[in-house]
Amino acid sequence: MTSTPSPWPRPSEAVRELMRKGAELAQTLPPEWIERLNQALFSSPEEVRLLEDPVILAACRRANRAELLHWANANLQRPGEPVEPYVSADMVDTARELARRGASELLMNVARSTQNVAWELWMKMAFSLTQDPVVLEEFLEVSLRSISGFIDNNMRVVTQIILEEKNVQAHDEHIDKRSLVSRLLDGRDVDTEQFGKRLGYSLSQKHHACLVWSEIPDAELRPLEEMARALAHLSGTVAPLIVFAGPATLWVWSNAAKPLDLNMLQGVARQFPKIRAAVGSPGAGVNGFRRSHLEALTTQRLMGRLAGAPAVATIDQVRMVSLMTQDARAARQFVLSTLGRLATEPMVLQRSLHAFLANGCNITQTAEALGTHRNTLLRRLERAQDLLPVQLADHRIRIAAALELVIWSIPLDNGEQ
């Protein structure tokens, strides 16, 4: 005989009303809830390394919000009743990508961490909704059953997606560009000439590696490819190697026939406002192919971590910032002691002084670079220098380094002029 599952017990009316009130609060997506749920994505060193990929990180954050809204809406309509599983398109893409990387178990770890945080936030709220011990006990029991059941069911769906993806991989005999390139990046001994022929790209030349990606949902592939080709064109390449590396991410290599011009890089960025790119330094042969790619990855990770990072950046731009942000507390103290009151002033003053130093303290060049009238720039520079605790002429390098940190860490307000 097979036993039938026990029915989901109907909560009391008092608890149903509390579930509805709590769901109303959750539906507003309280900022502290979203922040705590996002922090749950980094519960282990392995997850931290994985989520340094800004595309996967952005997808996981969107999935957190979408799942919270789904659960809250369900409890508004049917408080305390079972919630149907919901796996967003972001979670489907992420599950498939992690399966391809052989890291699908990390998604399960993230789900458990998220469940723990969600329960912690909900339980804290519960004590503000009622002081009746009998009602509170039932409310917590119903809540725990609802949250854990919802996440368990979601993970069953995700597990099936992962198994299907692994099955596709196991039966796919076609070796694509990503597989070939991954063998190169892993440092395996390969026949360079043979691999070059299969990839349609010479590995013996000097390379610029680049990562092109988008963090918006449902990003289309064509604009990414167009930007990849535009960047390759800057280095003198007509036919770059472009590899689809995951959801909304391309790996790109081009012949480093000429140096990249930073102004032209930013010009390309303006043509593709919703796309980002990270560029490694030029390197020759297979070793240069690998090293430049690793540098592009390093650049991408820093861009994903610092809010003020530009849309396109090179490894040379981030080397100093990367070193200086290893110790966030020390970096913050350095900025405050170097910039004084300027550190908390509007960004337009900080960016004006930074541009002035970057342009060799040439007023005319700085005004042209910023698109600002000369007299306006002079007033801003005078104000910025008045706010500094040290003399600009005696501490230019130190001040420039502190301004670099500030600019990379704070997003530019679109309303600034």
Q: Are 180 and 195 in contact (CB under 8 A)?
A: yes
Q: Which helix (DSSP H) or strand (DSSP E) does residue 246 occupy? A: strand 241-246
Query: Full-prediction pTM beyond 0.85?
Result: no
Q: Which residue has the higher pLDDT, 106 or 26?
A: 26
pLDDT at position 2 over 70: no
Distances (CA, A) of 291 to 16, 285, 355: 58, 10, 30
HSE toward the beta carbon, residue 147, CA cutoff 13 A: 24
pLDDT at position 304 over 60: yes
Give the pLDDT of residue 45: 66
In this structure, the number of other CB atoms found within 10 A of the CB of residue 175 comes to 10
Q: Which residue has the higher pLDDT, 205 or 175?
A: 205
pLDDT in tens, 128-178: 998 899 999 999 999 999 999 999 999 999 999 888 887 776 555 344 778
Q: What is the DSSP string of 281-315?
A: PPEEHHHHHHHHHHHHHHHHHHHHH-TT--SEEEH
pLDDT at position 4 over 50: no
Write down all domains in the chain, each with its CATH number in brackets: 13-171 (1.10.490), 177-316 (3.30.70.120), 327-409 (1.10.10.2840)
Query: Distance between CA 246 and CA 108 in Å, rounded?
Result: 19
Burial state string for 346-381 with b = 16 or more CB within 10 A and e = fewer than 16: ebbbbbbbbbbbebeeeeeebbeebebeeeebbebb
HSE toward the beta carbon, residue 336, CA cutoff 13 A: 6
- In the numeric block, the tokens 């149903």 are attached to 16
At 159, which amino acid appears?
Answer: T
Give the pLDDT of residue 1: 40
